[in-house]
Amino acid sequence: MRSPRPHLIAGLLLTPLLAGCFSSSGHDSSSGSGSGDGGRLSVALAFAPAENYSPYGQDGIDLSRLGVVEGLTRLDANGTAVPALAESWSSEQDGRSWVFTLRDAKFQDGTDVTAKAVASALTHAAAADPAPAAISGVKLTAQAVGDDQVKVSAAETDPVLPLRLANPNLAVFSPKAYGKDGKVNPVGTATGPFALTKITGDTAATLDRFDDYWGGRAQASGIDAKFISDGTARANALRTGDVDIAEAIPVAQVASLKKATVHQINTARNTSLFLNTQAGIFKDAGLRAAAREAIDTAAVAKGVFEGYAEPAKGLYGPALSWAAGKRTAPTGRAKATSPKGKSITIATYSDRPELPESAQVLQQQLEKAGFTVKLEVRTYARLESDLLTEKFDAAVVARNVMLDTGDPVTVLASDFACAGSYNLAFLCDKNVDKLVAAAGAESDPSKRQDAAMKAEAAILGTDAVIPLVHLKVVTGIGTSVKGAVLDPYEREFVGTGTRR
């Protein structure tokens, strides 16, 4: 492995943006593994592939959780960009471009990771439609500089570009992965410690250890992944030993599991009600205000989440220790108007069983206030396309606000700006866009946080989103498993040190 160039910056000079730490049920999963072979792991994930394993959406997060993909950088426990495929990087004087020096690494098909291949991979990601959330609104370009350096640029100064490149949606694949149709085939073409070798529709996947992984040989010989959308079924699979690790255990199932198998961690994930501001009755700001006033978030936290959540204070929860001291009151809220029996449809998904339960509580509260409410519940894979095309009046969704980049501003651009790629409220507000853009231009971490909180106040003032609860995530881990990753960013699940 090449040693880092001393004249390059070895990380992003930003103060940590998320307080907390990665933890594991045993050994440090990020460290190099020993010579032992821990056998195969069986894991249950909550969300089935919705886009044929495309890395540019939610499927990319699953590929990251399974140790298949990685990008130029990754996030450490404090939310700082640290080396991954890039061993070091530096910003050029114009502030728009960063030069990344690559480490010696191989793709899972045996070819070398080269500057040309990396630049091509990032170019494909930048051309994806819709754009990956991490680069929503960012015109990203990449070009090889010699054999081992890549210059990545944005159209405007972007102080958090190394954070963006840590997102699994910007993972690097070998040239053979990219087809003429714009699709990406991740089978045996990524760079992570585990190679995807077999896909069984949207129900299962087989992964084998990639012995030439630059970060060291994984202790588990492979992973058998199952996609089980029903939370009770995931808990049962762990309880019976059918799987070694199960993500997103429903709170109602925690009591049925052995205490030693239940692991929880604070995350930046919220459950919120998004209101459609472009179609239907919630185009009316007064009716959005009426919905907000009707909702008792404490009842949702207590009645549904049973202590594994707390009433939401805003978009940024207690996992982000800086947020509480910087929060300001929502601005520009409309006066509530009477619903007078107006009908609405609230959509949500069953992959997280607390969401339909939350929707039922909201249904009761909103009907008491005078709305007529219908619920639409599907799996996320069957719901996503309709969520993004104004099919519903409202949606109950769980969202990790730091998942896209680890930067508090990025989620605002993707979820609430006019051009946002995951704008479930279809909000398009000139003042919000102005404040989000101003926050995005700040390079000083503290000022960036301040600006994000001003944008949060404006967003909450539109009542386009009603934050309900800040979540803890419960993972079920068999007692024979060591080194499973508990990641507040929810990007990692297994690592080189995970074994049984």
pLDDT recorded at residue 259: 94
pLDDT recorded at residue 133: 82
Statement: residue 54 has pLDDT above 80:
yes
Cα–Cα distance measured from residue 263 to residue 313, given in angstroms and rounded to the nearest whole number = 25
Q: What is the pTM of this model?
A: 0.75
Section 415-424 average pLDDT = 93
pLDDT recorded at residue 55: 94
Cβ–Cβ < 8 Å for 423, 417? yes
pLDDT recorded at residue 24: 56
Helix, strand counts (H, E) of the chain: 12, 19
pLDDT band at 22 (very low <50, low <70, confident <90, very high): low
Cα–Cα distance measured from residue 74 to residue 165, given in angstroms and rounded to the nearest whole number = 8
pLDDT recorded at residue 27: 37
Percent of the chain past pLDDT 90, that is, above it, reads 72
Section 453-479 average pLDDT = 96
Contacts of 352 (CB under 8 A, 6+ apart): 46, 231, 248, 250, 398
Mean residue pLDDT of the chain comes to 90
Section 207-228 average pLDDT = 97
Statement: residue 18 has pLDDT above 60:
no
- Give the count of alpha carbons within 13 A of 419, CB side only: 14
pLDDT recorded at residue 28: 42
pLDDT band at 50 (very low <50, low <70, confident <90, very high): confident
pLDDT recorded at residue 35: 46
Contacts of 448 (CB under 8 A, 6+ apart): 159, 407, 408, 409, 439, 442
Token pair listed for 302: 């207590």
Architecture of domain 266-473: Roll (3.10)
CB contact burial 184-201 (16+ within 10 A = b; e otherwise): bbbbbbbbbbbbbeebee
Cβ–Cβ < 8 Å for 135, 123? no
Section 263-273 average pLDDT = 91
Q: Residue 19, class by beta-carbon neighbours within 10 Å (0-12 exposed, 13-18 middle, 19+ buried)? A: middle
> Cβ of 77: how many Cβ atoms within 10 Å?
17
pLDDT recorded at residue 152: 97
Question: For residue 418, which phi and psi values (nearest 5 degrees)?
Answer: -55, -40
Statement: residue 34 has pLDDT above 50:
no
Token pair listed for 190: 């990524």
Taking alpha carbons only, the member of 192, 41, 62 closest to residue 499 is: 41
Percent of the chain past pLDDT 70, that is, above it, reads 93
pLDDT digits (tens, 9 = 90+) for 271-291: 999 999 999 999 999 999 999
Domain ranges, ordered by start, for the chain? 23-225+478-486, 266-473
Cβ–Cβ < 8 Å for 79, 409? no
pLDDT recorded at residue 443: 81
Cα–Cα distances (Å) from 405 to 136, 167, 256, 327, 412, in that order, read 11, 6, 35, 21, 11
pLDDT recorded at residue 1: 36
User: What CATH code is assigned to 23-225+478-486?
Assistant: 3.40.190.10
Token pair listed for 362: 């909201």
User: In which element (H, E) is residue 194 found?
Assistant: strand 194-200
Statement: residue 466 has pLDDT above 80:
yes
Section 89-93 average pLDDT = 89
Beta-ladder partners of 400: 269
- Give the count of alpha carbons within 13 A of 295, CB side only: 27
pLDDT band at 15 (very low <50, low <70, confident <90, very high): very low
pLDDT recorded at residue 158: 87
Statement: residue 97 has pLDDT above 90:
yes
Statement: residue 63 has pLDDT above 90:
yes
pLDDT recorded at residue 23: 59
pLDDT recorded at residue 298: 96
Highest mean pLDDT among 89-98, 205-214, 303-312: 205-214
Highest mean pLDDT among 54-68, 130-144, 285-299: 285-299
Statement: residue 219 has pLDDT above 70:
yes
Taking alpha carbons only, the member of 423, 308, 292, 316 closest to residue 357 is: 308
Highest mean pLDDT among 47-56, 360-369, 416-425: 360-369
Statement: residue 439 has pLDDT above 70:
yes
